[in-house]
Structures are given as structure tokens and as C-alpha cells.
Structure 1
Amino acid sequence: MACLPMVAPFAPFAPFALLALLAAPHCRAEWKVTPRVDLRETYTDNVRLETNDAARGAFVTDLTPSLSIASDHPRLKLNATFGASLYAYSNDPLEGSGPNNGTSNTSRSQRNLTGSARAKLIEEVLFFDANASIGQQNISAFGPQVGNNSNGYLGANRAQVSTYRISPYLAHRFGNDASAELRYTRDSLKSGNVGLGDSTGNSVSMSLASGAAFRTLGWGIQLSRQDVEDSLARASRSETASATLRWRVQESLSVNANGGYDKYDYAALGGTTAGKSYSLGATWTPSARTSVQVSAGRRYFGASYSLVASHRSRYAVWSANYSDAVTTTRAQFLLPATINTAAMLDRLFIANFPNPVERAQAVDAYIRATGLPASLADNINYFTNRFVLQKQVQLAAAFNSAKTTTVFSLSATKRQALSTQQTDSTLLGASQSSLNDNTRQAAASAVLNYRISARSGATVQLTKSRTDSLSTGLSNQQNLVSLAVTRQLQRKLKGALELRRAQGNALSQGGRTYRENAVSASLSLTL
């Protein structure tokens, strides 16, 4: 058992190693390995995002080696990037900070991993999905927020969250009549913070759906069960069952009806945790570029609606999404539904890069070359051990021209706690126990990149967010403005200069305002 602390940090890498071993006997994958080194020097007049009277300046050196691995074999699709950032400071404003554990105001080092993979182990029978992540996440929606990667050294209100998810499944097609899938999933989350419990989950799901023979009238059945073990909260279980009927009215339009039953096991504040569900909906797909799915119905917690709409033209993409669901912080980290720059550009690049792996590489290269931020303004998946009812709307648009790329995003989220406060006692303490009972968040961002020449560009980013605790009356606002200029110095060497100004107020500072002005210069070398 003594070796476990050494093994645990590498757990998120296990899914990819396992997939490579399983797929190796069946394929000779063409691996693309890309090493990269980034060096950034920053001067900030408020290195810890303290209140104005306590602000301290510092030079911060950030060295980040990283490695990207990709495979596009028919039997193995894999895309993963791992990096480690090391930080040094001109003075020691962060005396005794050590590794970032969510309690220090700065970090000496941190790791980052994003990866996903899919393998065909037995043709048309056995498949294997996996994904993993390591990264810094905001602990509270009422603390200082990190605007982008340029101030990744900030440790206040952040913790390193590690997740992995592995999912082998059997799939079979019964000719043109039906298709079936039986899936097992094991997932894990380690929060890096004593207030959010580490957890593991085991899920089993089954689906049976009509095939091409049922062109006009289709049907489907879905069953699922998940058990979660948590180090702080008691074990929980969720079970769902549903049946769907679909009627194709015309080639581009179909309507559907859904009925089922949901059952959750958690310490409720009051009321039921299970009940029948039903909904009516429609899907409209007039072309390969446009899709709209809507539904309205009722679940045990009340009225329920959903919207998934997207449209793509040659130079623009639009998307609109609305959802409501019973969920948890761990569920949102394991299966995030965020809008980011990469996702928008991915759809914008479909015409030029139909292959998904090649498109992902092209999007990553484009973001690095132009200096676009990897993520857009989004609502905070703040730490809580409670079950919540989450209602969320997301709107985004991206436009591309010969000289510019512009991305807009709007998001709003309302969370209402459904389970008791006791599991958050370590996280919030007695004085703030009601802080997350009922919250509302809104965020907006605009990003404009202008290509000055074939080798140079400038990017402006504006971000604004607000969080309200409807149960306590407390609120938090964050603003960020940044300007970055990039230059391709050599074929594999890029330089950048960035100016930024951040302003906000934080509950941890008594709601008082903090401001930061910073300038940074960076070099990025692809080996």
C-alpha cells in the first residue's frame, strides 16, 4: 500500500495506456508525437489578486514543456496532450506556498492533461472509450477567477482536479431491424481539495433502438444505473428508464414522445427524489448545416425543457443550447458541456478538414498561431458535494473572414440545491453554509483576432461575469480585458506579447475590489 501515493498521480494516464495495449495486436497505428516548450515572463502589479491596499508586484517565470500524441487509425482514434508548468518568482511573495492545493494564493507547479480515445477491439462487436483530464479549476464562484492561461500561476480559489473515465461496450446490429448497446463505465474524480470528496462511479446502461426498416415510425428503449462512492458524502445511486416513439413527418422533420421513470438516492431537503417523466419534442434538419432539436415535458422536479440548435455557413457558425437536469459537480467535471474556442472553430473548419483528428490538430495549431484563448467565458462549475437542479442556457457564434476571426459567447446558469448542507460543511464552514443553496450566474465574452500579416496577428478579449447567491444576497463580479500580439519568428518558433487588466470582488476578501495590471512576453517552440 505504501506505493499508492506514487501511483495515484498517474491514474488519469491509465486509460490511454490500456487502449494502446488492447489495440496494438490489431492495428499498426500511425502515431504523431509533437513535443513543445513554452516560456513566459510576466510582470504583474498584483500577483495574488489581493485587495488594492495589499497588492504586491512580482516577475513570474513560467516554463511549460508539453507533449501531444495523436492516432487516426480506423481501429484507434486518440488525441492527448500533457504538460507541466513550473513557476519561479522574482521575490518570494508566496512564501511557503508549495504545490497548489487550493489554499495557497500561488502555485510552484501544476500539471495539465486533456485526452480522449476510442478503440475497436472486435469489429462490430466490442469497443472501448476513454477520456481523462488534469487541470486547475475554480473552487468557488465567489472568489477571484482566472481569466486565461497567462495567469495560470494563480493558486487562490483554485485546485487541481483529475478525472478519468473508461467505458467498454458491446454493440450489435440486427440487420435493418434494430441495434443494441450494452455499456459499462467506471469513472473517477480527485479534487485536490479537502472540501470536495474524491469519488468513483460505476455505471451500466443498455439501449435498444429501431433500425432503417422503421423509417416512418421508430422506437427506442434506454435503461441506466449508476453507483457512486464518495469520501465525504454517503454513497448514492441513480436509475433511469425511458422509452421513445418517433414519427417522421417528412424527410427533414420528425416528432417524438418520451416516457419513463427517474429515481435518485440522496438526502433530500424535502419532497420526492423519484417520479415519472414524459416529454414531447421535434427534430428539424433541413440540411447538413442546420439542426434544431426541442422538447418540453415534466420530470419529478417539475417542468423540463431542452433545446439544441446549430447552424453553419461557409464563414460562420451559431449555436444555442438549453438544458435542465439533476446533476453534481463531479458529473459536470466528468462530462463537461461547455462552449470553448476549440469547439466553435472545430465546426468552422469542417469543410476544410473533414477528418476529426486532423481537424482537431488544425484547430489547436490555429489557436496557438493566432493567440486566441482556449476557452470562452462560461459559468463556474463550483465545488459542492450536493445534488443540484441545474438550468443552463448557452449561446455562441463564430465568424471567420480573410483577416479576422471573431467569437462571441453568452451563458447563464441557475443552480438550486436539492440535498442537505452537511456534506459541504468542510468546504464552506458554518458562516457560509447557505451560500450555494440557490445561485445564479451569467457570463459574456467577445474575442477578436486580426491577422496583421501572414506571420503576425493581434487578439483582443473582453470578458464579464456575475454570480449571485439568491439565498444570502451576496454577489460577485469579474471583468477582464486583454490584448495580445503574436509573431511567427521561425517555422517552429512563435513569440507573443500580452497586456491585460483584471478587476473583480471576492467573498474571501470581504467583497472588496481587487485590480491587476500585467504584461507578459512568451516564446513557444515546437520540436
Structure 2
Amino acid sequence: MISLSPHGTPWRLTMLMLLTLPGAAVPADWQFTPTLRLRESYTDNMNLAPPGQARGEFTTEVSPGVRITGDTPRLRLALSYSLQKLAYTRQSSRTNQQLDADGHAEVVPDWLFFDARSGISQHNVSAFGPQQLDPAQATGNTGTVHTTSISPYLRHQFQGLATALLRYSYQRVGSGGLLDVRSSDTALQLIGDDDARGLNWSLNLDRMRIDDAALPPVIKSDAALTLSHPLTGGIALFGTGGYEKHDYHSTSSQPQGGYWSVGGTWTPSPRTRVAASLGRRYFGKTYTLDAAYRMRDMFWTLNYNEDITTMHGEFLSIAPTGLSDFLYQLWATRIPDPETRLRTIKVFMAISQMLGPDGNVNFFSHRYYLQKQLRMATVYSTPRSTLGVNLSSNRRTAQTSSAIDSVLLGPDQLSLTDKTRQSALQLGWSWRMSARDNLTASASHNRVRSLTTGRADNNSALVLGMSRQLQRGVNADVNLRHARHTSNAGGNYRENGVSAALMVAF
């Protein structure tokens, strides 16, 4: 039976396919590509257990799938889906799903638009303990996360006054009985037309309702006015003032009050941009930094931000695209096929889909956190090789009680996530051996600490891979992996794995 519930994959596919209706009458470059992935792998520690308890396992993976892409003046759609069947030699087989879908439609020209995103992927539940790097591993610390976002909006320019944007968003994050969160958000933004004196303004009004199965409903409202003024030399100054109110039950200060921030941007050339601000909100002082510098064969980014966040919100967030956009353009001649290029970039930039985009673990939680993030990343490329480096630090301080996470953590672990600090280093290197052969090497180290209990876990991984294009639409790769986990709470382990895969696009 085909499920049509919001948790069913067919529902998500149907939702995104409806986006094709506005552009059906427009000539389009549509591609419908069935795919098949066959993979054989072996690990000497399938359950990521300490020495003496580890067991080896062979795994056979068969993953049929489909890729759909379309691009018209009024419609863009990119969808990738696969059904992953895993057969083991010493345990029962299981099935995973992978979905990454994104669509945008212009329903009524210059007025009504529609955005939609949907995803299915596997993630580590806790940042402490065994960290799964391969979906074939069995650790008991993973969950399948379903995300859905639907957002119709009206946008229109009122000549001589402002551009108005009225957006409604519905979002849902689910992972069996671990997470079930829905939110509806209504936002109005007015952006004033350029003033003759160079004074620009924008007004933002926002109201969101969050329904978490483990919590009473939460209402978040925000109103803010921003003024900016350009100066000479690519410098602009800006200031924001507003009022916010969040009615979640905070363990510290009341989550509401007026706020402000002032800052500036410096854009001396199209290749360089720096934006920084400082301000104050109900939880204290705030700082932001967003800097990027681009050369012909190198790209740098440096980012810092502070905000109140939730873990389900992090699953819905869109990762920065600066580095991937840079590589997409840079590798246009090296990897002409767009789909192969995107897949290569994803492999290069992330050692594992199980970790977050910055190498840190977005652990499951129903709590609200004050999150402070710092990230520096760079990519350097030559005609035959590419080197990428990513450094990140993430500090989270819980704003709500730990009792609501009793479903996720044991009674003796509830205080683990009161205050956490994660740091990560990722290195990636790719060498184009020939027109059809590529060699990649990646290394990562992640350290997570509970500042409340003193527990510290370290996770390191090294992956070496070689890929070859056998013919158009047929690719093969071989990978070797070594992983290591240490903790002052015990449970240390090592794991080695090898895999060979064949990917066919029909």
C-alpha cells in the first residue's frame, strides 16, 4: 500500500511534482534519470564496540533510485531519491531511504511564488558515544530524519514606495517517536525603495507557532526596523531595533524584550565582502561576522553568529553555499556533467553524511539553546588537485529544562547537554589522475565536551577513495576507512572498513 500521510515518501514526491503544473506549457529542459547503486562493504567493527566486543560483517547494498531535474523560466526542480536495501551476513536485512528534493515555482508572474523542500536522511541521535559514519553500521545511536518545508509567498514592488513580501511557511521534522515537530510561520517584509539621500530601510514582522509532541505549543513573535546608509569606498552602516517575545519556559531570563544591533559592511570589490555587527538581546550581548574573499583559484570564508535555536530548526536550516558554488564553477571543465559534479562536491566537502555540514553533530533534543558558532573554511584548487580545510566551533547553552529529553536520554544523561562545546577540523584533498580517474583523501577530527559533567569524546576518521568513470553514466569507486573514538567515560573503539561500489545512471 502506498502511504499518503505527511510521513510517507510518496506524499513528498507528489507534493514536489505538483510544482510542475505552472511550467507545463513552457518548453523545458527536463531530465528523468533512473539510477542504480550496487555496493559491497566490510567492516571489522559493525557495532562500533570496544575491543573484545567488536564483530566483523559483510554488507551488500542495492539502491535503486531516480533523479529528476527541470529548469524553466517559471519552474526549477531538483529531486534525488534512492531506496537503500542492506543485506548482512550475520543479522537481519534492513531498508533506508534517501531523499533530497527542492523546488521553486512562479505561479502568478511577479506576484505569487511557491517554494518546497523535502528530505530523508540518517543522523546520529547523540553527540556522545559511538558515531556512525556509514549508514550500513548498526550502533543504536541513529535515527532517520524526515523534513518537509512548504512556503507560498506574495512578492510585489510598489513603485516609489517599497517591495512587499508576504510569506507563509509550514515545516515539519519527524523521526519516529524521537522527534515530531511542526511549525507554521507568517512573515511580512517591506523593503523601501532607494532614497535620494541614500537612506534605506526595511520592516520585518514575524509570528511563528511551534507544535512539538513533547511540549506545549510555543509562539514566537518579532518586529524589527532596519536602517542603512552607504558611504564611500564600499562602506555602509546599518542599525536594527526591534521587540521579540518567545513564550517557551526558560530556566533563566524571560525570553522577551527589546533588542538592537549596529554594524557595517565593507565591499571594496566583487571578490571581497566583510559584514560585522554588535548588539544586545534578552540573553545578553550579541556579535556577528560574515566575511568572504575570492581569488581565481582560492576561496575563504569566516563566519560567526549567536542565536536562539532548536535542533529541529537546525535540521531544516540551509547550509552556506559559498564554497560549493565556488567549486561548482571551478570544476565546470574538469567535470562537465552537472550531476556528477554535484555528487563529487558533496563527497569532497563532507567526510560523512552522518555529521553536520561543519563536522559537528546536530544531536536530537526538544530543548531551546543559545548557540554560538564560529567557522572558517577555505578551498585552494589547481588544474589537477583541490585542497579544502574547514575549522568550526559550536557552543550550546540550554535555555529550557532537561526533563523534556527523557525520551531521548537516560536519567543519568539528562545533564549531558545542558552546556556543550563541539569543535571540528576537516581536511579534504582531491587529485585528478586522468580524465576518468580521481583520487580523494579526507580526514576529520571532532571533539565534543559536556561543560556540565566534564565528559569529553573524540572522534577521528580517515578515508581514502579512488573513483573511475567506466563509461558515460557508469562510475565505480573503492574506499578505505579508519575511524577511532575515545572518551573519558569509556567505550573506546577502533573501526576499519573497505567498500567497492558501482553506480549506473540509465
TM range (shorter): over 0.9
Distance 2:399 2:7 in 1: 36
Work out whether 1:187 is the aligned partner of 2:204: no
Work out whether 1:145 is the aligned partner of 2:131: yes
Residue 501 of structure 2 corresponds to: 522
Work out whether 1:444 is the aligned partner of 2:437: no
Deviation at 1:154, TM superposition (A): 3.8
Cα separation, partners in 2 of 1:362 and 1:520, compared to 1, 3 Å: closer
Deviation at 1:153, TM superposition (A): 4.1
Amino acid at match of 1:39: L
Cα separation, partners in 2 of 1:180 and 1:406, compared to 1, 3 Å: same
Q: Is the 8 A contact 2:86 2:136 kept in 1?
A: no
Distance 2:415 2:138 in 1: 27
Deviation at 1:523, TM superposition (A): 1.2
Identity %: 34
3-state SS of paired residue (1:434) = helix
1:423-438 to 2 correspondences below 5 Å: 423-438=404-419
Deviation at 1:58, TM superposition (A): 1.1
1:399-430 per-position Cα deviation (integer Å, ceiling 9, x unaligned): 11111011110111000000112211111122
For the aligned residues, what is the CA RMSD?
2.5
Work out whether 1:403 is the aligned partner of 2:381: no
Amino acid at match of 2:234: S
* TM-score (normalizing by structure 1): 0.89
Deviation at 1:327, TM superposition (A): 0.9
Distance 2:232 2:331 in 1: 31
Q: Is the 8 A contact 1:345 1:363 kept in 2?
A: no
Distance 2:286 2:32 in 1: 45
Residue 492 of structure 2 corresponds to: 513
Residue 134 of structure 1 corresponds to: 120
- Of 102, 108, 133, which aligns to 1:122? 108
Cα separation, partners in 2 of 1:281 and 1:321, compared to 1, 3 Å: same
Deviation at 1:9, TM superposition (A): 4.0
Residue 13 of structure 1 corresponds to: 13
Amino acid at match of 1:80: L
Distance 1:87 1:178 in 2: 55
Q: Is the 8 A contact 1:82 1:111 kept in 2?
A: yes
Work out whether 1:163 is the aligned partner of 2:162: no
Residue 104 of structure 1 corresponds to: none
Residue 50 of structure 1 corresponds to: 49
Deviation at 1:190, TM superposition (A): 0.8
Cα separation, partners in 2 of 1:369 and 1:424, compared to 1, 3 Å: closer
- Of 207, 221, 238, which aligns to 1:225? 207
Amino acid at match of 1:346: D
Work out whether 1:292 is the aligned partner of 2:274: yes
- Alignment size in residue pairs: 500
Cα separation, partners in 2 of 1:367 and 1:352, compared to 1, 3 Å: closer
Residue 473 of structure 2 corresponds to: 492
Deviation at 1:486, TM superposition (A): 1.4
* TM-score (normalizing by structure 2): 0.93
Residue 41 of structure 1 corresponds to: 40
Cα separation, partners in 2 of 1:220 and 1:214, compared to 1, 3 Å: farther
Deviation at 1:37, TM superposition (A): 1.4
Amino acid at match of 2:462: V
Cα separation, partners in 2 of 1:353 and 1:126, compared to 1, 3 Å: farther
1:464-483 to 2 correspondences below 5 Å: 464-483=445-464
Q: Is the 8 A contact 2:23 2:72 kept in 1?
A: no
3-state SS of paired residue (2:45) = coil
Work out whether 1:364 is the aligned partner of 2:345: no
Residue 186 of structure 2 corresponds to: 204
Deviation at 1:8, TM superposition (A): 3.3
Amino acid at match of 1:10: P
Deviation at 1:197, TM superposition (A): 3.2
Residue 398 of structure 2 corresponds to: 417
Cα separation, partners in 2 of 1:118 and 1:359, compared to 1, 3 Å: farther
Deviation at 1:31, TM superposition (A): 1.2
Amino acid at match of 2:297: Y
Unaligned runs of 5+ in 1: 99-107
